[in-house]
C-alpha cells in the first residue's frame, strides 16, 4: 500500500526512475558529493484549489503541464516533491487536488511523497457513522483540554428545525448527518455545499444530496475512491538525507513507538498507560518510518474489514482515527502533535532532538497547525524546525487565507543543504530568502540570514525577510490564537536582538 518537466510553462493545472548518482534507501535519497537536488514541500491545501495552484506556480521544482497535470519543472533534474498532508475540507478542490497528487505519485513513485494528514484520515469516520440512524449518538470526537464544546446531532437537528422537537426524525437523513459531521465534528463547516459545487463542476450537472453523501463514502470505501488511492500511496513520514518531513511533528516519547492496531478512538481514562510497542533500542530512523508505514497499512486493512460498528461501539480503522487524535494517541502522534501551541512555537523536546541528531537529522519540516501568514523557523537543540501551515492567515478573507502562501525548498546535497522560503504575506508582500545550513556557521556572503528564527527582547519572532532589508515579525499572547505582526528595519531589529 504505502510506498522532469519541460521549462516553466504556467498552465492552470488540475482537471520515475531512481535518481542518477543516488540510492534510495528507506525513503532517504543519498546523493554523491557535489550532487544537488531541490526538495519542494507544500502542505495543507485543504481543498483550496486556488491556493494549491499558486503554491505550485511559486515553486522552482514543480509546475503544471499544458494538460493541467503536475510535472517536474526541469526534465533533466532528479528533484523531489513532498506534499505534507491535509488534502481536503476548506474549498471546492478536494477531489481535483487529491487526484492530481496521486497521478503525480504514480508517474514518479520514487520522487513524489504524499504524507498522511489528520484531515485525510478522519474521513474514514463516514463509513460507520453514516450507516447508523440513532439521533442520540455519543459525541464522536475524543475530548481534549481547551476543546470547544461539541454539538450533538440532536442539538444540530433541533436548530435546523427551528428549535422544534417535533419532526426531527424527518430531518435525520444521511445528508444532514454528514452536514453535522462536517460542520460540527470535522472542522469543515460548509464543506457539504463546497463538495456539491465541485461535483457539479466535474460532472456538468446538478448534484443531489445523495450524490454528495456517496462522494464522501465512495472516496474511502471504493477501491477507485480518490482518498483510498491517496492512502495506498501515502507515508507517515519521509526522510531525505538530513531532513525529516512529517505532517504534525515528533513529540516526546513518540520516536520508535507504534500504536496497537485496535487502539480505540476514545479519550483514555486518567492514569491509563500508553499501549503499543517500542522498537528495540538503537533502531534506525528508517526502521521506525518503515514500521509506521506498515502499521498504517495494517490499519487500512482493519478499516476495510469493519465498515460498520463492532461490539462495544468500535469500528474498523479505530487505530487510524486514534493516530490523528491527540488524546486517543496519548500525545504520541506524528500526524497531529505539533511544536505550535496557540500560534506560538516551542522548542523540540530534548529527547527528540537527541534521537534525531544521533540519526543524522538536522531539519524537521511540518505542517498541520496554523503558523500565521508565513512559516515559522525555530532553531532548537541543534535542529532547524520549519512550521509551514498558513491556513487561517487572514480572517478577513473569504477563504481564511487571503494572499498568503508558502513553498519551502531544501536545496543542496542530502547532507549539506539550505532551506529556501518563498511566498507572500497576507498583504501581498513577497519574501524569498535562504537560511544557513543547520548546525553550520553562517556565511554572510552566501545570502543566508541568521536573524530568521530568533526572538526579540520584547517577544517578537523574526519570520521573514522582505524587500528593502525589512523583517516580518510576529507575536502571540498566551491562550490567544490571534497573531500580531510588525515590520522592523534591520537597525530596529538589531537593537531588539541585542
Q: Whole-angstrom Cα distance, residue 326 to residue 125?
A: 16
Q: What is the dihedral of CA 193, 198, 203, 206, to 10 degrees?
A: 20
Task: Quickly state the pLDDT bin for 394 (edges 50, 70, 90).
Answer: confident
Q: Which helix (H) or strand (E) holds 486?
A: strand 483-488
- pLDDT band of 395, cuts 50, 70, 90: confident
Rounded CA gap, 94 and 201, in Å?
A: 12
- Rounded average pLDDT over 271-279: 95
| CA–CA dist 112, 86 (Å, integer) | 16
Distance from C-alpha of 256 to C-alpha of 156, rounded to nearest angstrom: 41
Q: Are 435 and 419 in contact, with CB atoms under 8 Å apart?
A: yes
Instruction: Compute the C-alpha angle 450/453/456, nearest 5°.
Output: 95
Distance CA(194)–CA(278), nearest Å, equals 42
| Separation between Cα atoms, residue 141 and residue 339, nearest integer Å | 22
Residue 344's pLDDT is: 75
Count other Cβ atoms within 10 Å, centred on residue 256. 19
Question: Is the pTM value of this prediction over 0.85?
Answer: yes
Catalogue all structural domains in the chain, each as residue range(s) with its CATH number. Answer: 37-116+236-250+334-497 (3.60.21), 122-231 (no CATH), 255-333 (no CATH)
Q: Is 14 left (phi over 0), alpha (psi -120 to 50) or beta?
A: left
Mean local confidence (pLDDT), 36-40: 94
Mean pLDDT, range 468-480, rounded to an integer: 84
Q: What pLDDT band is residue 196 in, cutting at 50, 70 and 90?
A: very high
**Torsion angle of the four alpha carbons 382, 248, 347, 497, in this order, in degrees rounded to the nearest 10:** 90
Amino acid at each position: 500500500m504505502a510506498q522532469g518537466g519541460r521549462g516553466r510553462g504556467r498552465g492552470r493545472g488540475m482537471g520515475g526512475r531512481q535518481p542518477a548518482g543516488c540510492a534510495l534507501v528507506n525513503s532517504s535519497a543519498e546523493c554523491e558529493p557535489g550532487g544537488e537536488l531541490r526538495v519542494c514541500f507544500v502542505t495543507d491545501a485543504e481543498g483550496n484549489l486556488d491556493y494549491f495552484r499558486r503554491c505550485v506556480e511559486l515553486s522552482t521544482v514543480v509546475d503544471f503541464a499544458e494538460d493541467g497535470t503536475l510535472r517536474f519543472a526541469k526534465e533533466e533534474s532528479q528533484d523531489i516533491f513532498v506534499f505534507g498532508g491535509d488534502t481536503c475540507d476548506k474549498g471546492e478542490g478536494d477531489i481535483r487536488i487529491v487526484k492530481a497528487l496521486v497521478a503525480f505519485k504514480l508517474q514518479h513513485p520514487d520522487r513524489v511523497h504524499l504524507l498522511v494528514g489528520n484531515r485525510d484520515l478522519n474521513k474514514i469516520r463516514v463509513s460507520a457513522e453514516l450507516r447508523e440512524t440513532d439521533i442520540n449518538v455519543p459525541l464522536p470526537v475524543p475530548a481534549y483540554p481547551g476543546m470547544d464544546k461539541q454539538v450533538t446531532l440532536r442539538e444540530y437537528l433541533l436548530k435546523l428545525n427551528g428549535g422544534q422537537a417535533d419532526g426531527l426524525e424527518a430531518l435525520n437523513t444521511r445528508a444532514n448527518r454528514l452536514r453535522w459531521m462536517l460542520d460540527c465534528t470535522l472542522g469543515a463547516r460548509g464543506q457539504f455545499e463546497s463538495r456539491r459545487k465541485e461535483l457539479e463542476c466535474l460532472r456538468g450537472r446538478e448534484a443531489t444530496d445523495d450524490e454528495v453523501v456517496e462522494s464522501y463514502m465512495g472516496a474511502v470505501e471504493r477501491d477507485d475512491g480518490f482518498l483510498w488511492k491517496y492512502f495506498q500511496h501515502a507515508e507517515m513520514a519521509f526522510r531525505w538525507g538530513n531532513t525529516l518531513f512529517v505532517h504534525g511533528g515528533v513529540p516526546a516519547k513518540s520516536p520508535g513507538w507504534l500504536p496497537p492496531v485496535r487502539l480505540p478512538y476514545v479519550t483514555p481514562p486518567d492514569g491509563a498507560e500508553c499501549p503499543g510497542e517500542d522498537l528495540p533500542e538503537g533502531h534506525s530512523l528508517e526502521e521506525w518510518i518503515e514500521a509506521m508505514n506498515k502499521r498504517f497499512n495494517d490499519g487500512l486493512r482493519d478499516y476495510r474489514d469493519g465498515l460498520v460498528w463492532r461490539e462495544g461501539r468500535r469500528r474498523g480503522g479505530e487505530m487510524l482515527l486514534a493516530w490523528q487524535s491527540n488524546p486517543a494517541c496519548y500525545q504520541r502522534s506524528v500526524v497531529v502533535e505539533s511544536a505550535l501551541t496557540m500560534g506560538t512555537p516551542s522548542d523540540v523536546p530534548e529527547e527528540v532532538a537527541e534521537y534525531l541528531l544521533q540519526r543524522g537529522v538536522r531539519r524537521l519540516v511540518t505542517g498541520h497547525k496554523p503558523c500565521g501568514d508565513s512559516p515559522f523557523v525555530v532553531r532548537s537543540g541543534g535542529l532547524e524546525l520549519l512550521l509551514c501551515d498558513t491556513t487561517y492567515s487572514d480572517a478577513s478573507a473569504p477563504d481564511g487565507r487571503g494572499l498568503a502562501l508558502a513553498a519551502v525548498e531544501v536545496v543542496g546535497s542530502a547532507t549539506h543543504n539550505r532551506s529556501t522560503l518563498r511566498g507572500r504575506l497576507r498583504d501581498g508582500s513577497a519574501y524569498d530568502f535562504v537560511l544557513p545550513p543547520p548546525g553550520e556557521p553562517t556565511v554572510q556572503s552566501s545570502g543566508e540570514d541568521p536573524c530568521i528564527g530568533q526572538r526579540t527582547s520584547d517577544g517578537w519572532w523574526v519570520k521573514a525577510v522582505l524587500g528593502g532589508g525589512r523583517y516580518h515579525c510576529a507575536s502571540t499572547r498566551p491562550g490567544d490564537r490571534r497573531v500580531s505582526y510588525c515590520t522592523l528595519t534591520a537597525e530596529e531589529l538589531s537593537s531588539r536582538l541585542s
